[in-house]
């Protein structure tokens, strides 16, 4: 058998491990004793239009067409609806011929990196980063090169990036709003990034692509704007998903948008189609392609996450925890109260608090807290976060 695949299959991710532990402990001790902040599973229901559209499609559409294969790159009417929405909201040129429907952001990323990379290439990601990037990059034959971010803001450290880019750099992954830091890259950061990649592409005589990973685009708070990367850098491939915005992670639906401004954009799009084919994605789920086409511009009620963020971030700060209050997504990335984040998470478990060590996100000494949970659970967990801080001698206001 293939050794790499065996290893990927036999080692559960730390997040899954904690999640399973939480389920077992809740069974033993009762649900109210466990505060599971491990998983990024949306806690708000999909908007009503999702169910209405599903029912309408099931009632009105001819079943063999509704449930049948669509073209490999996705249903044309669906791709047109998405392209029109991108044009309207972002003011950039978009076209159905540059949209490829996928089974969510994970598929979008694996396909895009496989379309771009050749054996021996490097893909740069900014720590903290989504743990699966390494798997996706290696599946594409490339090596993931993690780079530290500015520790005060978690914005991209452009001078560090300048040193890290080499003749082997094929792509840079940009995830904003970020999992796990929740940070949104500012227009200033994005502008500097684009200028540097233009310069380095010229210097090395090869196109360095930006691959954006944006399942959290709509999960932003306080009116923060998330810059649309194709406006700043033409060689951009956008990886989008409806998992978080419409609370549909189990339905596996998203898309890739290749910027029509990219060099050889048509060939790049065909490489995306080829990578999808090589990886065995025949077409994205037909019923959900057609459903999301009717839901453009709609999101689940993400205001709940903003309330959770404020409640948790403000309380934790007052207990002496250090964190950058995030502008988006639904995670807090908090400095552990001892150097070893694993040991800190073990201690947190004594209070029923299930947190994820930052090491797997490329950032030792931090923990991730997924606050896509009920506000009630957050309120009930706060005394325990306070006790945990007191264990470390933090003075409490």
Nearer to ligand PLP, 22 or 180 (CB): 180
Instruction: Note whether 145 and 122 are within 8 A (CB).
Output: yes
Q: How many residues bind ligand PLP (CB under 6 A)?
A: 13
Nearer to ligand PLP, 201 or 241 (CB): 241
CA angle 232, 221, 38 (to 5 degrees): 100
* Identified binder of ligand PLP from the candidate list 38, 181, 241, 381, rule CB under 6 A: 241
CA angle 299, 245, 231 (to 5 degrees): 100
- CB of residue 246 vs ligand PLP: minimum separation in angstroms? 11
Instruction: Note whether 344 and 337 are within 8 A (CB).
Output: yes
Pairing state between β 143-148 and 169-175: unpaired
Q: Is 104 in the site for ligand PLP (CB under 6 A)?
A: yes
Q: Is 284 in the site for ligand PLP (CB under 6 A)?
A: no
* Identified binder of ligand PLP from the candidate list 22, 42, 46, 254, rule CB under 6 A: 254
Between CA 292 and CA 50 the distance in angstroms is: 8
* Of 202, 179, 198, nearest in space to 190 by CA: 198
Nearer to ligand PLP, 156 or 388 (CB): 156
Half-sphere exposure of 320 (CA within 13 A, CB side): 16
Stretch that binds ligand PLP, among 23-31, 101-109, 151-159, 262-270 (CB under 6 A): 101-109
Measured in degrees and rounded to the nearest 5, phi and psi for residue 30 equal 105, 145
Between CA 72 and CA 313 the distance in angstroms is: 44
- CB of residue 104 vs ligand PLP: minimum separation in angstroms? 3
Q: Which of residues 156-185 bind ligand PLP (CB under 6 A)?
A: 175, 179
* Identified binder of ligand PLP from the candidate list 36, 75, 121, 213, rule CB under 6 A: 213
Q: Which of residues 128-147 bind ligand PLP (CB under 6 A)?
A: 130
Nearer to ligand PLP, 40 or 357 (CB): 40
Instruction: Note whether 155 and 176 are within 8 A (CB).
Output: no
Q: What would the x/- binding string for ligand PLP be over residues 322 to 361, using CB under 6 A?
A: ----------------------------------------
- CB of residue 304 vs ligand PLP: minimum separation in angstroms? 17
Half-sphere exposure of 160 (CA within 13 A, CB side): 16
- CB of residue 204 vs ligand PLP: minimum separation in angstroms? 27
Nearer to ligand PLP, 40 or 260 (CB): 40
* Identified binder of ligand PLP from the candidate list 215, 260, 328, 358, rule CB under 6 A: 215
- CB of residue 37 vs ligand PLP: minimum separation in angstroms? 14
Task: For 191-241, give the secondary structure using H, E and C.
Answer: HHHHHHHHHHHHHHCCCCEEEEECCCCCCECCCCCCCCHHHCCCCEEEEEE
- CB of residue 370 vs ligand PLP: minimum separation in angstroms? 9
Nearer to ligand PLP, 79 or 200 (CB): 79
Would you tell me the crossing angle of helices 76-90 and 286-293 to the nearest 10 degrees? 40
Which parts of this chain interact with ligand PLP (CB under 6 A)? 40, 104-106, 130, 175, 179, 213, 215, 241, 243, 249, 254
């Amino acid at each position: 058998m293939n050794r790499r695949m065996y290893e990927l299959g036999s080692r559960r991710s730390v997040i899954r491990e904690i999640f399973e532990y939480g389920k077992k402990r809740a069974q033993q001790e009762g649900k109210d004793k466990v505060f599971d902040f491990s998983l990024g599973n949306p806690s708000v229901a999909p908007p009503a239009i999702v169910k209405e559209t599903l029912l309408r499609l099931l009632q009105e559409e001819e079943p063999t067409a509704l449930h049948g294969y669509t073209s490999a790159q996705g249903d044309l009417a669906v791709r047109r609806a998405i392209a029109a929405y991108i044009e309207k909201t972002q003011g950039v040129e978009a076209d159905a011929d540059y949209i490829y429907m996928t089974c969510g952001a994970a598929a979008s990323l694996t396909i895009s990196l496989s379309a771009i990379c050749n054996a021996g290439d490097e893909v740069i990601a900014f720590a903290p980063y989504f743990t699966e990037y390494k798997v996706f990059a290696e599946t594409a034959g490339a090596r993931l090169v993690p780079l530290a971010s500015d520790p005060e803001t978690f914005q991209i450290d452009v001078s560090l990036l300048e040193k890290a880019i080499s003749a082997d750099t094929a792509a840079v992954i940009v995830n904003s709003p970020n999992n796990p830091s929740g940070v949104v890259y500012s227009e200033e950061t994005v502008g500097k990034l684009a200028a540097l990649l233009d310069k380095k592409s010229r210097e090395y005589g090869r196109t360095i692509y930006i691959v954006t990973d944006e399942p959290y685009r709509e999960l932003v708070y306080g009116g923060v704007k998330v810059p649309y990367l194709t406006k700043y850098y033409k060689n951009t491939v956008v990886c989008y998903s409806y998992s978080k915005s419409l609370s549909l992670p189990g339905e596996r639906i998203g898309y890739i948008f290749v910027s029509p401004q990219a060099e050889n954009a048509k060939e790049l799009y065909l490489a995306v189609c080829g990578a999808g084919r090589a990886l065995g994605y025949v077409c994205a789920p037909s019923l959900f392609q057609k459903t999301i086409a009717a839901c453009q511009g709609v999101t689940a009620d993400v205001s709940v996450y903003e309330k959770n963020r404020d409640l948790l971030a403000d309380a934790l700060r007052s207990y002496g925890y250090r964190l950058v209050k995030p502008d988006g997504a639904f995670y807090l990335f908090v400095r552990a109260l001892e150097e070893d984040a694993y040991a800190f998470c073990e201690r947190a478990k004594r209070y029923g608090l299930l947190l994820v060590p930052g090491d797997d996100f490329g950032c030792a000494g931090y923990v991730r807290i997924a606050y896509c949970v009920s506000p009630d659970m957050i309120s009930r967990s706060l005394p325990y976060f306070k006790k945990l801080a007191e264990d470390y001698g933090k003075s409490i206001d």
